[in-house]
Copies of this chain bind each other. A is one copy, B any other.
Amino acid sequence: MNVTVWNENVHEKTEPAVLEVHPHGLHETLKGIIQEIPEAKVRVATLDMPSAGLPQEVLDTTDVLVWWAHMAHEKVPDDVVDAVCKRVLAGMGLIVLHSGHYSKVLQRLLGTTCDLRWRDGAYERLFCIEPSHPIAEGIPPVIELGIDECYGERFDIPKPDDVIFSGWFDIGETFRSGCTWTRGYGKIFYFQPGHETNRSYYNPHVRRIIQNACKWACPKVYRGEFGAPEIRPTLEESRLGPETSAK
C-alpha cells in the first residue's frame, strides 16, 4: 500500500504555534501515523514542490492520498486537481482531513460547496455511530477528543454512503465528523479533527481511525475506463460463449 501524504505546508512557515505541535510540519506528523501500518510505504508531498508535489508519476504510484490543507486551496493548480480526481475515479483512495473540506479536489468530487460553520477551539466528543464499518475497527463508542476547532452544520455535502462519526462540541454544535463516499472506483473518507494548533493527531483513537481509513480506501484494482462505447457482444453471440453455466 503506497500512501502519499499531501500538505499545503503554509502554516508551518508563518506560525510558530503550529511548529510547537508539529515540529516537522503536519505532513510529518501524518506520515508518522501512516508508518504505523506495517504494509504501508509513505511519501510526503507539499504545495511548494514542483507540480505541487503531485506529478503524474507520483499519482500513478499512489494507492491512497491523504490531504491536509487550509489557507491555499486556490493555489493548487487546476491540472493537478484534474489529475487527482481522475486518479480517484480510477480507484485511488482519498482521505481528506479537517480544513481540507474546502479543497478543490473534494468540492469537485462531491459536486457541492462543502461549506460549514466554524469557530476556534471547543471541547469535542466523537461518537462512533457505525461501529461495524471497517474504519471503526477497534474504536470505542465515544472518544473524548478534547479541544479542536468547532465545525457546525449544515455541512454542505451530498448524502454520505456512511456517517461513521458524529461530533459533539461543548459550545453548542454537532457535526458529521467522519463521512464516506464512493466516486467511480475510488473511496473517499472525510474526517473533521485536526486543527493545526491542536493535538488531535496524537490521540491514539484518531490515529487508528486514519490508519483504518487508509486500509479501507486502498483499492484492490484500478480500472481506467468504465465501458466500451458500444455494447458487444449481443446476447445471441454471448450465449455461444464459453462462460455460461446453463445446463
The chain A residues found within 8 Å of chain B, CB to CB, are 21, 85, 89, 91, 108-113, 115-119, 123, 125, 127-132, 134, 137-138, 141, 143-147, 150, 152-156, 158-159, 161-163, 166-168, 170-174, 176, 181-187, 198-200, 202-203, 206, 219-221, 223, 225-231, 234-235, 238-239, 241, 243-247
Contact = CB atoms under 8 A, between A and B. Distances in A.
Contacts of A127: 152-154, 174
A189 to B, nearest CB: 13
Contacts of A225: 115
Contacts of A243: 143-144
A159 B131 contact: no
A170 B150 CA distance: 15
Contact of A166 (B138, B171, B174, B203): B174
A89 B206 CA distance: 26
Contact of A234 (B171, B228, B231): B171
A212 to B, nearest CB: 10
B170 A174 contact: no
Given A171-B235, A172-B235, A129 B153 contact: yes
Contact of A247 (B134, B146, B226): B146
Contact of A152 (B21, B130, B131, B227): B227
Q: Work out how many copies of this chain go into the complex.
A: 4
Nearest to A241: B144
A231 B174 contact: no
22 contacts: A89-B112, A113-B184, A116-B227, A117-B229, A137-B220, A144-B239, A144-B244, A144-B245, A145-B244, A146-B245, A152-B231, A153-B166, A156-B226, A166-B166, A167-B174, A170-B235, A172-B234, A199-B245, A199-B246, A199-B247, A202-B245, A203-B245
Given A132-B185, A168-B168, A150 B231 contact: yes
B223 A131 contact: yes
Contacts of A117: 227-231
